[in-house]
């Protein structure tokens, strides 16, 4: 029996582990002040893309068994600032259940007095309260909460060891990129939903069809499909989107951001979908 739930996860996981190995190499070998700073700058956007894959993993775990999933989540924690099951609580059990209700949504984009937040306001506030909101959702899910707290304590302990060994390199190679990636994660969420107040799932998300964007984010641009059936594996989202496309308003498509915006307008691609099935369990 294969270790992976879906063989298409093999190459992404290998790439994440390679990036983590490079992080550790810079952390243990950098002796000049500028190299860790440069490393943060070079990898800021790619680690933002890894955030999308951490998101996919929290919906459909990449491994069949708990231990490799927990180990991968430690790597994701250092790369994205989102520790094991934090995103599962905040996003899967929170945002996905409540995103049509701006009074309950864990990633709500409306201010209390009604108008939408600006992107910087939303990103700062949502990143700041992400863990408290995940904890609040966890109070209703004690089994998940135990994993969240235990793995969170492990992540903090490992980060503490890195700071004990080399505080400067730990700051620039791990802690600051973690904080930046968390910010980029919630910043992307803003553009997925802002201004779309509706009771219909097919009208509640913006979509990005740029092939380069979807390559590096694991088809996160097919966001309506993701919300309609959030247990579908990332590789099946284009096919599901094709099934739903007739019900998605033409105004609910966005251009990809940097660096993909430099390549011009997105193209809509017609595909013929096979049947897709959701995965409900989460080891």
> Smallest Cα–Cα separation from 183: which of 111, 220, 243, 130?
130
Please report the pLDDT score of residue 267 as a whole number.
44
pLDDT tens digits for the chain (283 residues)? 589 999 999 999 999 999 999 999 999 999 999 999 999 999 999 999 999 999 999 999 999 999 999 999 999 999 999 999 999 999 999 999 999 999 999 999 999 998 999 999 999 999 999 999 999 999 999 999 999 999 999 999 999 999 999 999 999 999 999 999 999 989 988 999 999 999 999 999 999 999 999 999 999 999 999 999 999 999 999 999 999 999 999 999 999 877 786 443 344 433 333 333 333 345 6
Q: Classify 110 as helix, strand or coil.
A: strand
Alpha carbon of residue 186 to chain centroid: 8
Give start and end residues of each alpha helix (H) in 30-118.
Answer: 34-59, 66-80, 86-87, 96-98
Cβ neighbours of residue 225 closer than 8 Å, sequence gap 6 or more:
232, 237, 238, 240, 241, 243, 244
- Rounded to two decimals, the pTM is 0.90
- As a whole number of angstroms, the distance between CA 16 and CA 61 comes to 15
- As a whole number of angstroms, the distance between CA 138 and CA 132 comes to 10
- As a whole number of angstroms, the distance between CA 153 and CA 61 comes to 21
CB 93 within 8 A of CB 144: yes
Please report the pLDDT score of residue 1 as a whole number.
59
- As a whole number of angstroms, the distance between CA 2 and CA 275 comes to 23
């Amino acid at each position: 029996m294969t270790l992976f739930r879906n063989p298409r996860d093999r190459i992404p996981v290998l790439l994440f582990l390679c990036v983590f190995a490079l992080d550790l190499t810079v952390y243990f070998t950098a002796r000049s002040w500028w190299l860790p700073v440069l490393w943060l700058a070079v990898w800021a956007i790619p680690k933002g893309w890894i955030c999308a894959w951490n998101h996919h993993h929290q919906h459909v775990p990449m491994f069949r068994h708990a231990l490799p999933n927990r180990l991968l989540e430690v790597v994701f924690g250092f790369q994205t600032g989102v520790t094991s099951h934090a995103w599962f609580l905040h996003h899967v059990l929170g945002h996905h259940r409540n995103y049509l209700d701006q009074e309950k949504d864990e990633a709500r984009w409306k201010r209390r007095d009604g108008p939408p937040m600006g992107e910087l306001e939303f990103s700062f506030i949502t990143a700041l309260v992400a863990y408290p909101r995940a904890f609040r959702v966890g109070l209703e899910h004690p089994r998940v909460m135990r994993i969240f707290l235990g793995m969170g304590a492990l992540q903090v302990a490992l980060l503490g060891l890195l700071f004990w060994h080399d505080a400067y390199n730990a700051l620039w190679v791990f802690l600051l990129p973690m904080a930046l990636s968390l910010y980029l994660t919630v910043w992307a969420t803003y553009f997925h939903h802002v201004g779309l107040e509706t009771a219909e799932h097919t009208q509640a998300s913006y979509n990005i069809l740029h092939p380069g964007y979807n390559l590096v984010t694991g088809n996160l641009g097919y966001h309506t499909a993701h919300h309609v059936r959030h247990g579908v594996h990332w590789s099946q989202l284009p096919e599901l989107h094709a099934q739903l496309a007739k019900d998605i308003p033409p105004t609910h498509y966005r251009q990809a951001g940097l660096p993909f915006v430099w390549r011009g307008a997105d193209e809509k691609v017609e595909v013929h979908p096979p049947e897709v099935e959701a995965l409900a369990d989460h080891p």
